[in-house]
Amino acid sequence: MAADRPHPEALRLRQALDALVYAVAFVAVLVAIAAIVSVPLGWGLVGVKFALFFVGFFVFGISAFQLRPTPPWKDDDPADEREETRFQAAVQRLPPLGRYGLAPDDRLPASAKLFVASVLVLVTSFVMEAGFGIAA
């Protein structure tokens, strides 16, 4: 283990923080985009809720598919290298990650962070309907 890497417990905590901040940023961007499209069309918050619901399930399916284990005959595939996307780079500049951020190789895979984000998107859609009464 390298000297600059945190202990395994601290690493897991930082990975969870990274995934949570990624998910919150994903939901915020998705709500903004859905509102920009939905409000001018006259659908209001109902359109935002439906957009969150459908995009949430779509991302849930895609990320669950990507989380499948690698077959044994493809173990030598270098696809495990984690590259930083522009969205991830923007998320890394958000306040808690600026101090507690991780190197790209120490972070959870993008598919795991998308899975967490999709669950948070679906929870947000549910809270909009059940908690705030936004229904068609």
The domain locations on the chain are 8-69+79-131
Map residue 4 onto helix, strand or coil: coil
Is the C-alpha dihedral spanning 71, 76, 79, 80 positive or negative? positive
Enumerate the H helices of the chain as residue ranges. 8-38, 44-66, 86-92, 95-100, 110-126
Give the model's pLDDT for residue 1.
47
Inform me whether the pLDDT recorded for 74 exceeds 80: no
Give the model's pLDDT for residue 73.
79
Give the model's pLDDT for residue 119.
97
Give the model's pLDDT for residue 39.
93
Task: Judge whether 87 and 33 are in contact, CB under 8 Å.
Answer: no
Give the model's pLDDT for residue 14.
84
pLDDT category at 16 given cuts 50, 70, 90 is confident
Q: What average pLDDT does the structure give for the chain?
A: 85
Map residue 74 onto helix, strand or coil: helix
15 burial via Cβ count (<10 Å: 0-12, 13-18, 19+)? middle
Please name which of 18, 33, 34, 27 lies closest in space to residue 94, comparing C-alpha atoms: 18
What's this model's pTM, rounded to 2 decimal places?
Answer: 0.82
The mean pLDDT value for 81-109 works out to 75
